[in-house]
Amino acid sequence: NIVLEGFDVRGGTNTCIFSEADNVTVRDAVIHDCPGHGILAADQLSGSFTLEYSEIYNAGASSNRHPIYMQSDEVAFPNAVFKMRFNYLHDGKGGNLVKVRHQRSEIYYNWLEGSAYQALEFIGPDCYEQQAGWNVNLKREDADVVGNVIVQSGSWANAVRMGGDLNGRSQGRVRMVNNTILFTRSGTANAVMVQLGAESLEMHNNIVYQTTSGGKPTMVKENVVEDTPEPCSPQSTSPWSSGRKVAGSYNWVQTGAVVPSEWRNTLTGANPGLANVTAYSLRPLATSLLVGAGANPPAVSTAFPFPSPLAIPAYDPPVRAKMAPTAARARTLSAARISLGAFEVAAGGTTPGRTIRVTGSQPLLSGQTAGSATVTAQAMPVSATVIDNGSTTPVSTGGVRNRGTFGSRKFAKATRADGSVRTCELLDTGLACRND
């Protein structure tokens, strides 16, 4: 296992973080100002990858450098999973905010805004770059997309694209539940564009809303490409790999929006009844038709069931800001049934804070209790007790000194009983310390 936590990563000549490994976790990171990709996974020898509680911005370039570009090696690491949760991705400089060729993607509780192209793209492996033994039918590339906010503000019409490109098709299933998709751009708006070989798409409990005058988004846009696929890829140019397979229920759309005939129990209106769209306050008003209007859980399609889905969202996504690892808020239902979109009327309580590690290497050491510290408030304390490596003996009591700030972050020096000094960041949940 590899854990990269608490880092600010920027600059370089191309990619900020490159992964060619299995069981990688990037947590509580800020990744920005990358001239190319923000995070890139290799075509070969890449396996499961988790990105959580992080912020990525000012990354990507042109059409083929992406803030996140995730792939997996289906020969070396069959059944790998890409998990992306509780992240704030915004202000992409090129490409898609998230481009995925991974075998299975679980995209839960993220705020995605300001992509140069699609916010999310789910396609198949690049047929030119795979190991011997791979073929397009070896695995199916699926994606479960639950509890996210997507704000499509740029010139690109599609919020999500699925299926394939000329190099690789997913033949996969995409499931979208309780997402809020907001188009703040005028003109054509497509919630999902399907091209070059997807198997199925189901959408439940979502909100799709275009804020500009006369907005009438298309929910599912089929694109038949005119270009010729690469020789190593299937040659069909149909949007679907085995015929159209679409399902949906209890979604809210604008009056006049283009809705699939397969959808059931669709809600329509001129305005969804959100608190303040202009200020990106996207919780429903207590009087909104969205409240308690969803299915929990949504119906399962017997013709193309999604494997092991997250039935309904359990948490809120971050709101246009990086979320601390201890700050996830449980989603508390406003009525007997779940509301539509990514939020309920009111925020739930924060989940119990996880232990704060004293040293960054501890996640890699098995059988060891992480060190912790406690303060009583977010304000800068004049003293604190630091416990090291799970011991019950205080390392220092009242030994916090040299307090200071860096932007909105607060730091102090903590002196241990042996006289050594640690630099600690003062969080609302305690001290996060490292050796000086």
Rounded Cα distance, 246 and 363, in Å: 42
Question: What's this model's pTM, rounded to 2 decimal places?
Answer: 0.81
Average pLDDT estimate for 254-278: 97
3-state secondary structure 111-143: EEECCCCCCEEECCCCCCCCCCCCCCCCCCCEE
Average pLDDT estimate for 346-361: 54
Q: How confident is the model at residue 252 (pLDDT cuts 50, 70, 90)?
A: very high
Residue 350: the pLDDT is: 76
Is residue 348 domain-resident? no
Rounded Cα distance, 173 and 169, in Å: 12
- Structural domain containing residue 387: 362-435
Query: What phi, psi does 363 have (nearest 5°)?
Result: -60, -20
Q: How confident is the model at residue 432 (pLDDT cuts 50, 70, 90)?
A: low
Sign of the torsion angle spanned by Cα atoms 411, 351, 102, 322: negative
Q: Are residues 48 and 181 in the same domain?
A: yes
Last residue of a domain, one of 264, 284, 304: 284
In the predicted model, what is the mean pLDDT of the chain?
A: 86
Average pLDDT estimate for 5-28: 97
Is residue 352 domain-resident? no
Residue 348: the pLDDT is: 86
Residue 374 has pLDDT above 50, yes or no: no
Helix/strand/coil for 223: strand
Residue 296: the pLDDT is: 93
Q: How confident is the model at residue 332 (pLDDT cuts 50, 70, 90)?
A: very high
Is residue 248 domain-resident? yes
Q: How many CA atoms lie within 13 A of 44 on its CB side?
A: 8
Residue 364 has pLDDT above 80, yes or no: no
Average pLDDT estimate for 143-148: 99
Q: How many domains does the chain have?
A: 2
Beta carbons within 10 angstroms of residue 335's beta carbon: 13
Q: Are residues 279 and 393 in the same domain?
A: no
Is residue 349 domain-resident? no
Residue 376 has pLDDT above 80, yes or no: no
Last residue of a domain, one of 219, 252, 284: 284
Is residue 303 domain-resident? no
Pair 253, 266: CB distance under 8 Å: yes
Q: Are residues 165 and 33 in the same domain?
A: yes
